[in-house]
Amino acid sequence: MAAAIETKKLTKSYKSRQHGHINVVDHLDLIVEEGEIFGFLGPNGAGKTTTIKMLLGIIYPTSGEGYVLGKEIGDMDVHRMISYLPERPYYYEHMTGPEILRFYGSLFGINDEAKFQGLLEKVNLHRDTTKSISQYSKGMQQRIGLAQSLINDPKLLFLDEPTGGLDPIAHREIRDLIISFRDEGRTVFISSHELSEVELICDRVAIIDRGIIRRQGKLTDLLRGGRIEIMATEVAAKVLESLNLTDSNVRTVPQGILFDIPEENDVNGIIDAIRTAKGNILSIVPRKKRLEDLFVETVQNKPTPVGAAQDGGAK
Ligand SMILES: Nc1ncnc2c1ncn2[C@@H]1O[C@H](COP(=O)(O)OP(=O)(O)OP(=O)(O)O)[C@@H](O)[C@H]1O
């Protein structure tokens, strides 16, 4: 599969009064495959917006290379094939949904009422055509933003915190729309803090921290390493011995004996051994590794790399 985005040692440095030049994005090697939903994650000040601005050609890298849809970043041809929905898009509040689409359509030389109608239907705003943006809920505003971001039929969409501040129903609507973009063959690059959302929809993620990519890969690979908890009673001592488990894998709790086993271990073998010796299994609970666990373990307690940025500088 071709890469929709590829960067090689992409770096942006700013001058800081205390630290001289600091790399707020530091030798970034990023690959986003065509047709995937990619989550770009990181704590505040990690360098996400700076990276997106470089990919969009809004700011110049200090060094390194970057390619978007096969063209070098900054290439004006790319702008016709991509779109960007910022975290807080600004719309003229007096405009209605159709007026917004006509306005943004005109920026691309598109004057196609059937297309605008289709987009309003896609985001389920076709029954609210007389309402002005000031009367829209947050979820509706986000949906008109997504409709607007489709006007130029982009191959690649950049969405900054697309579900930030939305209620669970609006979350689901936006999530379904983003999945439909992938179904249409588009690539979606999402910058987000909403890890549970990202976990539900993203194919691959990168975690950036202090300008450096700490993890990058398929979610299914990155989230390997879950655990299985088996609660049992009447487990014979000889069974416990034969299982050769460490103290961290097995402990006595008020309800019985709790086995806490890495999922790659022979969980079935343990269950069989307990059952064969007439033990009583009360529950078997998979404890999947969550993206939040991975995120926290990735960004916590990392030494500050030389020359890398700290949060709190000027924007
Ligand atoms: N023009 C600038 N001059 C100096 N420093 C800057 C500038 N723009 C951004 N920075 C610094 O670069 C670092 C990364 O900022 P960036 O906005 O890319 O982070 P972010 O990951 O998008 O954060 P958030 O999640 O809070 O939006 C921060 O320390 C920020 O203060």
Taking only the tens place, the pLDDT of each residue in 231-279 is: 999 998 888 888 888 878 899 999 999 999 988 888 999 999 999 989 9
pTM of the model: 0.83
Domain with CATH 3.30.70 in the chain: 227-288
Domain with CATH 3.40.50.300 in the chain: 3-81+154-222+293-299
d(CA 64, CA 213): 15
What is the ipTM score, two decimals? Answer: 0.97
Report the CATH architecture of 227-288: 2-Layer Sandwich (3.30)
Which of 12, 24, 48, 209 most suits a substitution to test ligand 1, by most atoms within 8 Å of the C-beta? 24
d(CA 168, CA 59): 35
Q: How many CA atoms lie within 13 A of 209 on its CB side?
A: 16
Atom of ligand 1 at shortest distance to CA of 16?
A: 4
Instruction: State the virtual CA torsion across 269, 271, 277, 283 in degrees, nearest 10.
Output: 170
Taking only the tens place, the pLDDT of each residue in 56-93 is: 999 999 999 999 999 999 898 898 999 999 988 888 89
- Write out the H or E segment, with its range, that includes residue 156: strand 156-160
Q: What type of residue sits at position 214? A: R
Quote the tokens at residue 106. Answer: 């005109």
DSSP per residue, 67-131: EETTEETT-HHHHTTEEEE-SS----TT-BHHHHHHHHHHHTT---HHHHHHHHHHTT-TT-TT-
Atom of ligand 1 at shortest distance to CA of 52?
A: 18
CATH code for 3-81+154-222+293-299? Answer: 3.40.50.300
